[in-house]
Amino acid sequence: MKSSFELLLVVIATFSTIHIVQPQSQQGFISLDCGLPANEVSPYKEDITGLQYSSDATFIQSGKPGRIQPNLETRFLKPYTTVRYFPDGTRNCYNLGVQKGRNHLIRARFLYGNYDGLDINPKFDLYLGPNLWSTVDLHRLDNGTRREIFHIPTSNSLQICLVKTGETTPLISALEIRPLGNKSYNTSFGSLSLFFRIYLSQSDTSLRFPNDVYDRQWSSYFETGWTHKTTASDVRVSNNYEPPKAALKTAATPTNTSAPLTIDWSSENPEDQYYLYTHFAEIQELQANETREFNMFWNGEKYYGPLVPDKLDITTIYGGTPESCKGVRCSLQLIKTNRSTLPPLLNAIEVFRVIKFPQPETDENEVVALKTIEATYGLSRINSQGDPCVPRQLMWDGLNCSNTDVFTPPRIISLNLSSSGLTGNIAAAIQNLTQLVKLDLSNNNLTGELPDFLGNMKFLLLINLSGNDLNGSVPKSLQRKGLELSLQGNPRLVLSSPSTKPHKKSFVVPVVASVGSVAILIAALILYLVLRKKRQPTIEVVCPPPSRPTVNVTNANSPEPSIEMKKRKYTYSEVMKMTNNFERVVGEGGFGVVCHGTVNGSEQVAVKLLSHSSTQGYKEFKAEVDLLLRVHHTNLVSLVGYCDEGDHLALIYEFVPNGDLRQHLTGLEYLHIGCTPPMVHRDVKTTNILLDEHYKAKLADFGLSRSFPVGGESHVSTVVAGTPGYLDPEYYHTGRLGEKSDVYSFGIVLLEMLTNQPVIDRNRRNSHITQWVGSELNGGDIAKIMDPNLRGDYDSRSAWRALELAMSCADPTSAKRPTMSHVVIELKECLVSENSRRNMSRRMDSLSSTEVSMTFDSGMIPRAR
């Protein structure tokens, strides 16, 4: 039997003899000869396949053409004898027009061929849009290699990027895009990266277009111990997969008729998942007393069967969900049934590895707007290739983008084209960047009048147009309060009305906002005057520290803020100074934007700015203020100060630099049992749990928090609010909010932390994380549930205990859920077991190591500030 390595060598041999049949349509095909010299004919017909290849020059704005060594050219098809290489820039990208939502075969070919005479094979990364597709390493691959994937684009533009990762220069030989049928190769999630595609034959012929209508490439493969079967008759291809008829005219059976037919291979990663597409057709004349029937087994477990192949008609078997291998060895076996008189038979098989592309592309409309802006000003920068925002290390120059979860496209929040040689009017396409917070077009040669649309962009807080030659009057929409507008150096620009006061620098009304992916989440401020004017009876929330009297807690009806709060009040000019004119926007959310700042010369802060356009945010803003005036805890974000100056409202919080996290925090228990009346957070999720520089967890975002009257009631009725996936289903259906609603949300957080799985994944058979974990728990294999990045380095008993605790927290019935106090005790005991396993057990009253303090405080009761 051939080894798996030999099997792969057969499969990746991409330049074999091609078997030719009648012409086929190439409608929708994109066939690019990368690096084709300008003096050669384009398009041209490749002699062997009949495919029409064109130069790639119009699909990419960078790179240089090259050609492999002359003595190698006769070994390869013409499109693979040229290369485009990229000595400049880090990321160089092709932009290809495709059909959004349709499955496509995408194939890239790479052949070094010593084109540069240096005899140094390159290594680089290949990206599909914003996501890493594969690493290409041409070391010892004299015949080159290919990468092939079945992928459904999410827009009508497909970007394939080569990214330099070391000292060598990326290159590409050919790009081939083929639209597929709408009903073939559908998956429950992810894209399909080709692992191998073979037909079982002793021939050395490779099949592709025109034999294969989709130009899939089929390599012949045969092993000792097999018997070759063939027919001269045509096999009817009657399903959506349409493999080549030539591939179905041959088949293999085991020579030992009692033995299984086995195909196996090695999996580099035990966590890899595969889809198998097996193609069968009975090509022998069976006698009346002969029967061919067999079962399919995947890694020793029954996969499908019994199967009786149809006479001269295709049957394709594929799984609705991906399969993983047990360990690093993958095995498919066909085993005849007891009633079968003939051995199993196989004609062809395709094996794909599931590849996930979690990062969504930047909002399509904003990408179009950016490209229009660049075209308007004739900008051509090598950096401006690929997705503008992601991955972040490859973000275009002059941009800053919001950081979002894997379900939400990034949005552009800052555009800086200062000193870029811009001429003409301010580009109208700027208004299509609807989430823009900061715009800098200073020190250019812009002319014309200021457009009204700039004043109508609701998130725009800072516009710098200084150092241009703009003329006319400043529209009133740009003279609104809350907008920082810099116009110096435009002598022909005048205010729109002589009665208008001289223009002052101003900034958008500060807003309470959630922070982006840098995960600086910020907490609360007081609107003392607003609260006092209401004169409504309030429930005083008292959350004392366990061993200290309560201090600096202001009653809502007090005539003045506390002395401490007075000291925290900042003027608007001080806010502008601490943020360096709002230079660094670190996030944005439903409230508005968040900027980074510094107070007292060294203390980092996050400044949450309230937007006029967010009415709901204003309501939640007041709720957050009401809570954080009374609640102080080491695991809650702390208030540094506030600004209350006319229309300018800003909340200034401690800067929490290490991101939102999936980890337990004792602050939630504190809200439930340390406050009188107790508080329910209502929006517990991983993005509302933050890490400071010492990796201490802090609970944030209290806009939805609610308190309970003192007494026997375990719930209150309220309008349902929260985040899908984390929301207590009982609360959702009844509107009855209780402390156990937070427990449910925390259970979901705990499951996220343990599994590193998204809470909701529409591409997963069990889309909600509780359903997925529940189904996996039935299998009894904890390794399939736990985060694979842990690589099994955990105490299995503690892991089981934590999983069971998380599932009990996420029980659909609130009465069956534990209290947060019980959860804290259980998790601490899990931690003790884990530390014991690591030979790091300590006394519980001295749990102060870095490892422990990242997760739990030392006392059974949370520490207050």
Helix (H) or strand (E) holding 720: none
Rg value, the chain, Cα = 32
- Name the burial class of residue 4, with classes exposed (0-12), middle (13-18) and buried (19+) by CB atoms within 10 angstroms of its CB: middle
Q: Which residues contact 624 (CB under 8 A, 6 or more apart)?
A: 512, 523, 524, 525, 701, 702, 703, 705
At 658 the pLDDT is 57
Cα 514 vs. chain centroid, distance in angstroms? Answer: 19
Q: What is the mean pLDDT of residues 796-804?
A: 84
Q: How far apart are CA 6 and CA 2, in angstroms?
A: 6
DSSP string, 56-110: SGGG-S--EEEE--GGGGGGS-GGGSEEEE--SSSEEEEEEE--TTS-EEEEEEE
Structure tokens of 455? 């004043």
What is the SS3 assignment for 473? strand
Banded model confidence at residue 508, pLDDT cuts 50, 70, 90: very low
| Cα angle 697, 820, 556; round to 5 | 75
Question: Where is pLDDT greater, at 693 or 777?
Answer: 777
At 7 the pLDDT is 38
Percent with pLDDT over 90 in the chain: 46
Task: Please give the C-alpha separations between residue 655 and each of 596, 608, 665, 691, 692, in angstroms, as whole numbers.
Answer: 8, 11, 18, 10, 8
The one-letter code for the residue type at 689 is I
Structure tokens of 348? 């062809």
DSSP string, 750-767: HHHHHH---SB-TTSSS-
* Minimum mean pLDDT range among 8-22, 33-47, 103-117, 745-759: 8-22
Task: Please give the C-alpha separations between residue 747 and each of 682, 723, 736, 820, in angstroms, as whole numbers.
Answer: 13, 14, 19, 10
State the residue for tokens 């705990």. 750
Structure tokens of 801? 């205990």
Cα 559 vs. chain centroid, distance in angstroms? Answer: 49
Residue 279 CB neighbour total at 10 angstroms: 26
Nearest to 698 by CA among 834, 847, 863: 863
Q: What is the mean pLDDT of residues 649-657?
A: 78
Output phi, psi for 262, to 5 deg: -120, 135
Q: Which residues contact 663 (CB under 8 A, 6 or more apart)?
A: 689, 691, 697, 753, 854, 855
pLDDT at residue 218 is higher than 90: yes
What is the SS3 assignment for 669? helix
* Minimum mean pLDDT range among 220-234, 532-546, 750-764: 532-546
* Minimum mean pLDDT range among 94-103, 292-301, 396-405: 396-405
Domain boundaries, the chain: 23-180, 194-355, 364-495, 665-675+724-865
The one-letter code for the residue type at 724 is P
Question: What does the DSSP 8-state code read for residue 791?
Answer: T
At 702 the pLDDT is 56
Global pTM reads 0.61
Domain 194-355 has CATH 3.30.870: no
Q: How far apart are CA 768 and CA 755, in angstroms?
A: 13
pLDDT at residue 527 is higher than 70: no
pLDDT at residue 3 is higher than 70: no
Structure tokens of 708? 């309970």
Asked if residues 154 and 100 have their Cβ atoms less than 8 Å apart, the reply is yes
Max Cα distance, the chain (Å): 105
Banded model confidence at residue 696, pLDDT cuts 50, 70, 90: low
State the residue for tokens 């087994």. 297
pLDDT single digits (tens) 455-501:
889 889 999 999 999 999 999 888 887 788 999 999 999 875 544 44
Which is it for strands 123-128 and 157-164: parallel, antiparallel or unpaired? antiparallel
Binding site listing for ATP: 608
Bridge partners for 335 per DSSP: 295
Q: What is the mean pLDDT of residues 180-203?
A: 91
Asked if residues 614 and 592 have their Cβ atoms less than 8 Å apart, the reply is yes
Q: What is the mean pLDDT of residues 771-793?
A: 83
241: left (phi over 0), alpha (psi -120 to 50) or beta: alpha
Asked if residues 295 and 305 have their Cβ atoms less than 8 Å apart, the reply is yes
| Cα angle 301, 8, 164; round to 5 | 115
DSSP string, 358-392: -SPPS-HHHHHHHHHHHHHHT---TT--S-SSSSG
Q: What's the mean per-residue pLDDT of the chain?
A: 78
Asked if residues 606 and 594 have their Cβ atoms less than 8 Å apart, the reply is yes
Nearest to 102 by CA among 134, 147, 150, 149: 150
What is the SS3 assignment for 619? helix
Q: How far apart are CA 620 and CA 701, in angstroms?
A: 9
At 802 the pLDDT is 87
Question: What does the DSSP 8-state code read for residue 790?
Answer: G
Bridge partners for 200 per DSSP: 221
Q: How far apart are CA 770 and CA 725, in angstroms?
A: 10
CA torsion 818-522-722-683 (nearest 10°) is 0
Binding site listing: 608
Asked if residues 154 and 363 have their Cβ atoms less than 8 Å apart, the reply is no
Domain 364-495 has CATH 3.40.50.620: no
Homologous superfamily of 665-675+724-865: Transferase(Phosphotransferase) domain 1 (1.10.510.10)
* Minimum mean pLDDT range among 32-36, 127-131, 225-229, 798-802: 798-802
Q: Do domains 23-180 and 194-355 have the same CATH topology?
A: yes
pLDDT at residue 391 is higher than 80: yes
Q: How far apart are CA 550 and CA 552, in angstroms?
A: 7
Q: Identify the architecture of domain 23-180 in CATH.
A: Sandwich (2.60)
State the residue for tokens 């090509």. 283
pLDDT at residue 130 is higher than 90: yes
Q: How far apart are CA 240 and CA 184, in angstroms?
A: 6
pLDDT single digits (tens) 326-347:
778 899 999 999 999 999 999 9
State the residue for tokens 């059974």. 860
| Positions marked catalytic | 683
